[in-house]
């Protein structure tokens, strides 16, 4: 087992087994590229990106036990800090050399604060960008950081651009290259993520407080939810959009399509109704 970066504890054999069961991994794990690719593919298909906690006024806990209890044992999803911290611990426990990075998400040509967590993984003599928690366009496989040309993906092609101070990540959606985020290779500490997590979960204008978001890829496309708007995306076909009509319909979608266990969220459906389906809600 490789030394774990940033004082994260390794997963116990029982915890690792529960994680593998959660994502449906049944192989013999080795610190090689084939295992990295398989884990990176299975994780986002099984564990959704979702921001239910900030939307409900709760700041997600980033301690190791809380993330394991929520994403693995509790049947919930989470956002980047939760997904990628869990994945970091899994990979390092298996023997990969892994470190945490920070990225600036690009929205409408604006570069936001460095509030996204991604990973750099060393494997088979190469450095790889790994990210299982980006949301609507979560990667489903690692990208070679030394290859600044188009790289195929199971859902869409990706391309890295290396600039003097940073990398720029692009995704090709229906033939159009779209920038996703920029990042450097400066290693982040747990304190960096605690600060960013607190900011995006509690800042009064944070979209995570005001917009209900969920995303999950599957084997043929992607599912995306923004408030009452559900979109089914396909790699080479027009997307299919549905406006949800009730809190019950939305709640069932979160449970059945996004596979999010909401049983521990007391009064959740009432919150959906009050905030998204009451007169004047958007």
Residue of 43, 116, 155, 251 with catalytic role: 116
Residue of 53, 131, 155, 233 with catalytic role: 131
Distance CA 229, CA 250 (A): 9
How many angstroms separate the Cα of 3 from the Cα of each of 88, 89, 93, 148, 185? Answer: 12, 11, 8, 29, 19
Distance CA 282, CA 272 (A): 12
Residue of 40, 43, 53, 80 with catalytic role: 80
Give the 3-state secondary structure percentages of the chain, helix then strand then coil, rounded to 5.
35, 25, 40
H/E stretch holding 97: strand 97-107
Q: Is 131 a catalytic residue?
A: yes
Distance CA 126, CA 70 (A): 32
Distance CA 47, CA 86 (A): 11
Q: Is 273 a catalytic residue?
A: no
| Region for residue 259 given its phi and psi (left: phi exceeds 0; alpha: psi -120 to 50; beta: otherwise) | left
Q: Is 116 a catalytic residue?
A: yes
Closest CA to 80 of 95, 67, 97: 67
CB 249 within 8 A of CB 227: no
Distance CA 269, CA 253 (A): 12
CB 4 within 8 A of CB 187: no
Q: What residues are labeled active site?
A: 80, 116, 131
């Amino acid at each position: 087992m490789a030394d774990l970066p940033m004082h994260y504890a390794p997963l116990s054999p029982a915890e690792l087994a529960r994680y593998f069961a959660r994502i449906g991994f049944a192989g013999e794990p080795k610190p090689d590229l084939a295992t990295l690719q398989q884990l990176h593919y299975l994780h986002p298909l099984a564990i959704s990106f979702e921001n239910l906690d900030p939307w409900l006024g709760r700041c997600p806990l980033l301690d190791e036990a809380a993330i394991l209890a929520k994403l693995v044992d509790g049947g919930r999803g989470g956002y980047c800090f939760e997904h990628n911290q869990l994945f970091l611990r899994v990979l390092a426990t298996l023997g990969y050399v892994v470190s945490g990075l920070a990225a600036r998400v690009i929205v409408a040509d604006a570069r936001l604060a460095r509030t996204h967590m991604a990973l750099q993984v060393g494997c088979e003599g190469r450095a790889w960008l790994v990210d299982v928690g980006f949301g609507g366009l979560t990667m489903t496989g690692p990208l070679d950081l030394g290859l600044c040309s188009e790289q195929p993906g199971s859902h869409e092609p990706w391309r890295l651009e290396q600039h003097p101070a940073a990398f720029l990540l692009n995704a090709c959606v229906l033939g159009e290259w779209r920038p996703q985020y920029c990042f450097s290779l400066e290693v982040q500490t747990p304190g960096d993520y605690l600060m960013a997590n607190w900011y995006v979960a509690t800042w009064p204008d944070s979209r995570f407080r005001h917009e209900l978001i969920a995303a999950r890829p599957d084997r043929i496309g992607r599912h995306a939810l923004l408030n009452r708007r559900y979109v089914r995306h396909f790699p080479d076909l027009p997307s299919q959009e549905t406006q949800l009509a009730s809190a019950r319909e939305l709640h069932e979608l979160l449970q059945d399509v996004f596979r999010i266990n909401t049983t521990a969220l007391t009064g959740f459906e009432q919150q959906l109704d009050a905030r998204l389906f009451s007169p004047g809600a958007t």
